[in-house]
Structure formats: structure tokens, C-alpha cells
């Protein structure tokens, strides 16, 4: 199975700053079938990005995804207070679906 | 508005059984594959099982294969997860998630999630 490794584990930043989160796959993710989800405490995950770079419906344009092959990035251009949460990447190009362990974006 | 409402979680002894339900609304249920994804407290996400829109194809993680069974009832717009031979390591919040296509295999991702139901396996 494809193992996804996210870095950093924790990212302390301030509102207004730029956040860059990384997701590395143990083998190439076919067709850039990679998604990003946001999860806040006590809530279900919310889809942000699919196909490595396509924003889901209703997601602000400060969120962007990039990458291909084994290396993917989620960028939040200017952090809003509501963006502090845990972010997971997930590959859906190979069975079984797998998730990264998450990056916690916290307020510095 | 898409809504997924899970129910059926609770406390079960090791070796026991439980059935989770997920009632769906706000979309054409019979057109989309559905999945269960779990999350141990404070941990990451683990895909558990998927079922195609027609219900004819099912998929399982190795960790639950042979113990869990996914099914769906189009008359009730509900997907189920029958869990048998439960173990302590099955303890988690179980989320129901909608896939973006009729097939439940690779190439489709989770666009909507329910709020989850907690399963605790303990004596």
C-alpha cells in the first residue's frame, strides 16, 4: 500500500501568514489522485482539494494544492483564524485508500 | 444539502458484534458509492470499507476483511456496517462518507462526511 508522510507534524503560525504543508508518497500516486481534508476538533473531515490541485465546492481561493508523482503541497496563502486545524492528505489512485498522519496547524 | 447521519455506535465487549447505520439525504443515493472511514481517538484516518452504488461490489481494508460487512438499502437511503468479532483495536469514531462516483474502487474520493459514531470495544 502507498504510505503518505506529512510534514511538519505541527506548524505554528500567526493569522495572516502563509502556510505550506507537505505530503510525500512512498510511491507515485497515479493520475495525481490526491486529496486534502481539513478537520477541526470534534468535527468530521472536510474536503478541500482533489486531483492534487482542484478546489472543492465552496473552498476559498486562499487554499491551493500542487504537486505530482510522490510530492504534494497544500498552501494557505493568508491564514484566517478559522484555518487552524488538522490537515490530512489522502491518495485514491491505488487500493487501499490511505491517509497521511496529519499536520496540525496551530496558532503561534 | 447533503447529510449523512451515522448511528449505532456504543460499548461492545471483545468478540461481540454491532451494526452501524448511515442515513443519507440531499443527493441521489442510488447513484453514488459509499464508504466507512474510522479514526481512533487522537489518531489519523483509516479507510475501512466501500460499496458501489448498486451494492454489487464491496471493498475492505485487510484489517477488517472477513469480520466486517458493508451493505446498503436503497429503499431507506441507508448504508450499513455489520461488525463481528470485534477487537479492542476497532475502537474508533466511524465516519460514513460519500464517494464521488458510482464505483467504490480507486479514482474516487470522499466529498461529504457524516459526524461519526463512536465504537468502544472493551470488557
CA A86 to chain centre: 9
Confidence check: pLDDT of A37 > 90: yes
Contact A44 B114 (CB under 8 A): yes
Given CB atoms, is B44 within the 8 Å cutoff of chain A?
yes
User: If you measure CA to CA, which chain B residue comes closest to A103?
Assistant: B44
C-alpha cell at A49: 482539494
Q: Please answer yes or no on whether A99 and B95 come within 8 Å at the CB atom.
A: no
Nearest to A32 by CA among A93, A79, A75: A93
A58 close to A69: Cβ distance less than 8 angstroms: no
Q: Is B73 on the interface with A (CB under 8 A)?
A: no
Query: How far, in Å, CA of B8 to CA of B23, rounded?
Result: 11
| Per-residue model confidence as pLDDT tens for chain B (123 residues) | 999 999 999 999 999 999 999 999 999 999 999 999 999 998 999 999 999 999 999 999 999 999 999 999 999 999 999 999 999 999 999 999 999 999 888 889 999 999 999 999 999
Looking at beta carbons, which residues of chain A come within 8 Å of B109? Answer: 33, 35, 47, 50, 90, 92
Q: What is the pLDDT of residues B61-78, one digit of tens each?
A: 999 999 999 999 999 999
pLDDT in tens, A58-95: 999 999 999 999 999 999 999 999 999 999 999 999 99
Rounded distance between C-alpha atoms, residue A68 and residue B86, angstroms: 38
Amino acid at each position: 500500500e502507498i504510505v503518505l508522510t506529512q510534514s511538519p507534524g505541527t506548524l505554528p503560525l500567526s493569522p495572516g501568514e502563509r502556510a505550506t504543508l507537505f505530503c510525500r508518497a512512498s510511491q507515485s500516486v497515479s493520475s495525481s489522485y490526491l486529496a486534502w481534508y481539513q478537520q477541526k476538533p470534534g468535527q468530521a473531515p472536510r474536503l478541500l482539494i482533489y486531483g492534487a490541485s482542484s478546489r472543492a465546492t465552496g473552498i476559498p481561493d486562499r487554499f491551493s494544492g500542487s504537486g505530482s508523482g510522490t510530492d504534494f503541497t497544500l498552501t494557505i496563502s493568508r491564514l484566517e483564524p478559522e484555518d487552524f486545524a488538522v490537515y490530512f492528505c489522502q491518495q485514491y489512485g491505488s487500493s487501499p485508500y490511505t491517509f497521511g498522519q496529519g499536520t496540525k496547524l496551530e496558532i503561534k | 444539502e447533503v447529510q449523512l447521519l451515522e448511528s449505532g455506535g456504543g460499548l461492545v465487549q471483545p468478540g461481540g458484534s454491532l451494526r452501524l447505520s448511515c442515513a443519507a439525504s440531499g443527493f441521489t443515493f442510488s447513484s453514488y458509492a459509499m464508504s466507512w472511514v474510522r479514526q481512533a481517538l487522537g489518531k489519523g484516518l483509516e479507510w475501512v470499507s466501500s460499496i458501489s452504488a448498486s451494492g454489487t461490489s464491496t471493498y475492505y481494508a485487510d484489517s477488517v476483511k472477513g469480520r466486517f460487512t458493508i451493505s446498503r438499502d436503497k429503499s431507506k437511503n441507508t448504508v450499513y456496517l455489520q461488525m463481528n468479532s470485534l477487537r479492542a483495536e476497532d475502537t474508533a469514531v466511524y465516519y460514513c462518507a460519500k464517494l464521488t462516483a458510482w464505483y467504490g474502487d480507486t479514482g474516487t474520493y470522499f466529498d461529504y462526511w457524516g459526524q461519526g459514531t463512536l465504537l468502544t470495544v472493551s470488557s
